[in-house]
Chains A and B, each alone.
Chain A
Amino acid sequence: MTAPVLEVKNLEKYFDTNTGWFENKPPVKAVDGISLTVDEGETLALIGESGSGKSTVAETIINIHEATGGLIRYQGEDITNPLKEQLETIRSDIQLVFQDPTSCLNPRRTIEKSLRVPLKATGVAKDKRNQRVQEMLERVGLTDEYLYKYPHELSGGQKQRVNIARALAVEPRLLLLDEPTSALDVSVQAKIIDLLRDLQEELDLTYLFITHDLSVVRNFADETAVMYLGEIQEKGPTEEIFQSPKHPYTRALLSSIPVTSDSDEEYRPDSEPLRGEVPSPREAPSGCRLHPRCPHATEECSMQHPDTQQVDDVEVQCIAYKEESEGFESLLTATNDTSTESQ
């Protein structure tokens, strides 16, 4: 079996917070020991609220930030602290698409100029660039008339298409999509998701899809990982996560989506609202990071860091799953009810 396209093991990224010479504050643990693998042609969704460290993961993978610890492998090759030559291949094989389509386009460059930059950087011959730019635009469903327009003349959805086209210019294998649709309206979001799906089929791309919106993921991702305060709380096949979410955090996320039909209503676990808000990663809670907000928290949760449990195909990080005790059952009953109804 071939190596997975992307393999991340116990990745850590700490940010130093000291501003003066004599300070000695603990670092902010933005990403704290996460592991994931993405296979060729698959989509892994990384979900979490703001401040959970999802974007930092993506940025560490392409070496915008240097990893503090852990291992990143791209097609079997260690790229954790890449050499200069390695960096060149990574940067052309892995591309990042950002959330805000407006701020990533230079307002003083026409679309054509913006699209030429990556071609120049990767050394495409001058006489071929024109043709390539047109091909790229066509691929994302834009016509030639957009070549000489400026970003402000385009709508949000069109700008995101241009961004995707630019990311595809260097023919990457792996796309890191950092909330590509969250700044867009639903009618446009559906179009972009459609486009991404087509491109994946056509070009055999692999996606790491970062979002806070669980409902987008349902149709789109093969696997889903739920992140909270720098740690992965639950990870497994998307189907499984939606059918029977196990971790209290996943359940809370699912139950807070405003749905639009009764059939969807059945997929929502009974409301288990979390208390308060995401604490600053500067003061990450002891033990289980969710315990100050978790409706099921016990004293044990604040004392002991939970281990990762394998429940069926899903990895869950929660103390209640340690043994088949009543805690396990009581957490699961509510979910089972809803999932049996919907089948």
Chain B
Amino acid sequence: MSSDPLLEVADLSVGFDGFDGYADVVGDVDLRVERGEIVTIVGETGCGKSVTTKAITGLLEEPPAHVDGSVEFDGMDLRELSEDQRESLNGDRLGMIFQNPLSGLNPVFTIGEQLIDTAMFGGKNDDGILSYFRRRRSTADRENARDRVVKMLREVQMPDPEAVLDSYPSELSGGMRQRALIAQALLNEPDLLIADEPGSALDVTVHDRILSLLTDIIEDRDMSILMITHNLGVARQVSDRIYIMYGGRIVETAPTEEIFEEAHHPYTQGLIASIPQLSGEEMAGGIDGSVPKYTDPPSGCRFHPRCPYADEQCRQSPPPEVSFGEDSHAVCVRHTDDGTTPTNEKTKRRLMKNGSVQTGGER
């Protein structure tokens, strides 16, 4: 199984030309999504998660973006494909759900118009104006597509799907819009769904149901999901494997359970320790500093200005990748030298206040 992943990203890097100079955002990213697997990318705001998925789906405009590396989807190299071939993949075999359910739908078309068009034209190449009009006017096709849309809306548990078809996005609540977007992404039965923080703009109770809906759908149809989230709790709930991203680099990857039992990278450990616990267990005081500036990233390990274990070595040379098992890697030098090895416990203790009030706060 591991020999034939659905999506394999190797050595992906993304940079942008800007007024402040070249921003080296994403680098050395290796990702793999197996068939039927849910994989999440977790990191703070500004860690390059969304940019990574946009580079994978080819939604970045080049230039100003500079993308490098290989993105292999089911044996095809997406970066080599022509514009036409790509377009027929997006929306057909590659589904996408974007973060904000409010801006993902066009406000001047009804949900029905948008979804039925997706069902009719999604994944179909630009095969000439004639066939476009033929399809556009074909009542049979339209009826057919409409049925499919209604069925799909039922599947995402949309209340009263027939009525929803005739309403505009502004008439729906946030949860319903998110459901409509999920239905739209699933209409052409993609093999891979890329979901950027699905539902995190919604209330907790609704968010929870959207997530369980997604996982149910996956089980039913043997799809894969590459999901982005900033919430480790969400990642734990849904995913099989987790990639932790910091400063545009993957700093750790492991199967979900392993991350929570025994994280290896200080950043992961810091994140876990900062989450408020229901059991009322004392939490660490958060990680000092903030995400690096991409125009002038820190030398060596990008996490070193915030790391409680950092020393001269971290400042000077990029950290090596250390393997802890087949699917478990972390990029941290502390696991190779004889210094203290970071563990959840130790990191938590170091991040606790213990009088070391760092002035300067989040920088």
Contacts and interface: CB of A to CB of B under 8 A. Distances in A.
Interface residues of A, number: 53
Contacts of A215: 275-278
A340 interface: no
A190 B274 contact: yes
B125 to A, nearest CB: 39
Contacts of B128: none
Nearest to A293: B205
A291 B274 CA distance: 36
Given A190-B276, A190-B283, A257 B260 contact: no
B204 interface: yes
Contacts of A218: 276-280
A143 B204 contact: no
A304 to B, nearest CB: 24
A168 to B, nearest CB: 15
Contacts of B271: 186-187
Contacts of B353: 194
Nearest to B175: A277
B206 A155 contact: no
B363 interface: yes
A138 B281 CA distance: 29
Contact of B362 (A191, A259, A342): A191
B204 A191 contact: no
A258 B236 contact: yes
Contacts of B45: 156, 185
A192 to B, nearest CB: 8
Interface string B170-209: 0001111000000000000000000000000001111111
Contact of B233 (A188, A193, A239, A259): A259
By CB atoms of chain B within 10 A, which of A158, A186, A216, A274 has the most? A186
A49 interface: yes
Contacts of A258: 208, 211, 231, 233-234, 236-237
A191 B286 contact: yes
B287 A187 contact: yes
B342 interface: no
A264 B203 CA distance: 20
Interface in B347-363: 353, 357-363
A239 B279 CA distance: 10
Contact of B361 (A50, A142, A185, A219): A142
Nearest to A181: B276
B277 A155 contact: no
Contacts of A264: 277-279
A219 B286 contact: no
Contact of A242 (B260, B278, B288, B361): B278
Given A187-B271, A274-B205, A219 B280 contact: yes
Contact of A188 (B358, B359, B362): B362
Interface in A264-283: 264, 266-268, 273-274, 276-278
B360 A143 contact: yes
B27 interface: no
A213 interface: yes
Contacts of B174: 277
B203 A219 contact: no
Given A141-B361, A190-B284, A191-B361, A212 B279 contact: no
A188 B363 CA distance: 11
B230 interface: yes
B274 A187 contact: yes
Contacts of A186: 44, 230-232, 271, 274-275, 286
A19 interface: no
A263 interface: yes
A290 B359 CA distance: 46
Interface hub of A140, A258, A264, A276 (most chain B Cβ within 10 A): A258
A253 to B, nearest CB: 6
B165 interface: no
A268 B283 CA distance: 18
A296 to B, nearest CB: 15
A216 B286 CA distance: 13
A188 B279 contact: no
The interface centre, meaning the residue of B232, B278, B283, B288 with most chain A CB atoms within 10 A of its CB, is B278
Nearest to B272: A260
A273 B205 contact: yes
Interface in B54-85: none
Contacts of A267: 278-279
Contacts of B208: 255-256, 258, 273
B285 interface: yes
Nearest to B288: A191
A161 B361 contact: yes
B205 A256 contact: yes
Contact of A268 (B212, B278, B363): B278
A242 B209 CA distance: 21
Interface in A151-209: 154-158, 161, 185-194
Residue among B174, B205, B280, B288 with max Cβ neighbours from chain A (10 Å):
B205
Contacts of A277: 173-176, 203, 206
Interface string B213-233: 000000000000000001111
Given A141-B357, A256-B205, A261 B277 contact: yes
A216 B204 CA distance: 13
Given A186-B271, A258-B231, A253 B204 contact: yes
A155 B363 CA distance: 8
Interface string B139-175: 0000000000000000000010000000000000111
Nearest to B284: A190
Nearest to B280: A218
B284 to A, nearest CB: 6
27 contacts: A141-B359, A141-B360, A142-B360, A143-B360, A155-B363, A156-B362, A185-B230, A186-B230, A186-B232, A191-B285, A191-B288, A212-B203, A216-B276, A219-B276, A242-B280, A256-B207, A256-B209, A258-B231, A259-B278, A260-B232, A261-B260, A261-B279, A263-B277, A267-B279, A277-B203, A278-B203, A342-B279
Q: Which 9 residue pairs are nearest across A and B when measured between Cβ atoms?
A: A258-B233, A190-B286, A256-B208, A191-B286, A157-B362, A187-B287, A267-B278, A190-B274, A49-B203
Given A154-B362, A189-B276, 5 more contacts: A187-B271, A191-B361, A193-B276, A212-B203, A218-B280
